[in-house]
Amino acid sequence: MEELRKKLKGKDFLTLHDFSVEEVQFMLDEAVRIKGLQKSGIPHPYLRGKTLAMIFQKSSTRTRVSFEVAMVQLGGYALFLSPKDIQMGRGESIADTARVLSRFVDGIMIRTYAQSQVEELAHYATVPVINGLTDLTHPCQILADFLTIKEHKGRLAGLRLAYVGDGNNIAHSLMYGCAKVGMNISIASPEGYKPDQKVVELAKQDALATGARIEIVTDPVQAVTGADVVVTDVWTSMGQEAEYDLRKKIFAPYQLNKELCALAKEDYISLHCLPAHRGEEVTDEIIDGPHSAVWDEAENRLHAQKAVLALLM
């Protein structure tokens, strides 16, 4: 355990693909432990006196609030930085921003568009860099998802997860994560909207270590039938607004509704990273229904990220 803690200290958190099976499990175990401390009212100021710079190129409710609250509860301080607040939004290079911030703070979280921006920031920074979301991956969300699944199902390995919708950053990170924890995953996306093939190949390589099965299909019925966990996300992400009408038409058969979810196991749970476009990718009766673990999932962003922050910083 102490050896894993030493390995993670100072490391960047860019994708779950970058971590070993043991490291991912350790982060989840730490999230369970730290959540237990908070629920018991036991202070855990592991980052007393430390500061996290939070760069937001994309706005967010859950990412901003959960990281900011996490730093407060860990005894540290979070500094919100929008494009209007820093020179990176006015032409300063990512490399120079990384060098300067590293002299001021103990860690950097960035929520942005291109994965390459996060990678460049991490390359030049001398403090840990955490990926708060890119168009390619969203690793913090998946740690929260897995914490939620473990709480509801008691395990991760051997379960079957179905993701229905756009082959986006959530689909990519679910594949990376499932490969690390031994969870089988079936992703149903329309032709032309399937996950990035390079990510699929890397996830399948990772899955060899745990025996997880990764399946990409176009039929949502095939994906959901017999699933323990059913997941979806918005059909139109930030930056894709011009495609809204087209996507709404193409993804209509991929809605999580009563008929589709009835094909999952009787005790299935449903997840959504939020914000949800109710009546589009998910109906009210699913997101508000007895199988929904969406609000536990949202809360667990806080606990999962506290574990990441504490271990890296």
pLDDT at 91: 85
Question: Is 138 considered catalytic here?
Answer: yes
Q: What is the predicted pLDDT for the residue at 299?
A: 98
| Domain 141-298 falls under CATH 3.30.930.10 | no
Query: What's the rounded Cα separation, in Å, for the pair 109 and 64?
Result: 10
17, 106, 233, 291: the active-site residue: 233
pLDDT for 270:
98
Thinking of the domain 1-137+300-312, which architecture would CATH place it in?
A: 3-Layer(aba) Sandwich (3.40)
Provide CATH 3.40.50.1370 ranges for the chain: 1-137+300-312, 141-298
Q: Is 48 among the residues known to form the active site?
A: no
Give me the pLDDT at residue 239, please. 80
* pLDDT averaged per 10 residues, the chain (length 313): 95 98 98 98 98 95 97 98 87 95 98 97 98 98 98 98 98 98 98 98 98 98 98 90 94 98 98 97 98 98 98 98
pLDDT value of position 237? 86
pLDDT tens figures, 101-157? 999 999 999 999 999 999 999 999 999 999 999 999 999 999 999 999 999 999 999
- 56 bridge partner residues: 111
Q: Any catalytic annotation for residue 141?
A: yes
What is the SS3 assignment for the chain?
CHHHHHHHCCCCECCHHHCCHHHHHHHHHHHHHHHHHHHCCCCCCCCCCCEEEEEECCCCCHHHHHHHHHHHHCCCEEEEECCCCCHHHHCCCHHHHHHHHHHHCCEEEEECCCHHHHHHHHHHCCCCEEEEECCCCCHHHHHHHHHHHHHHHCCCCCCEEEEECCCCHHHHHHHHHHHHHCCEEEEECCCCCCCCHHHHHHHHHHHCCCCCCEEEECCHHHHHCCCCEEEECCCCCCCCHHHHHHHHHHCHHHCECHHHHCCCCCCCEEEECCCCCECCCECHHHHCCCCECHHHHHHHHHHHHHHHHHHHC
Annotated binding residues for L-ornithine = 169, 233, 237-238
pLDDT at 224: 98
Q: Which one of the listed residues 17, 138, 160, 247 is annotated catalytic?
A: 138
Q: Per the residue annotation, which of 57, 141, 255, 305 is the catalytic one?
A: 141
User: What pLDDT does 90 receive?
Assistant: 80
Verdict on whether the full-model pTM lies above 0.75: yes
- Of the candidates 12, 73, 106, 111, the residue annotated as catalytic is 111
CA distances 30 to 5, 128, 143, 147, 299, Å, are: 10, 18, 11, 10, 16
Please confirm, yes or no, whether 273 is among the known catalytic residues: yes
Residue with tokens 């756009």: 166
Contacts of 252 (CB under 8 A, 6+ apart): none
- pLDDT, position 1: 83
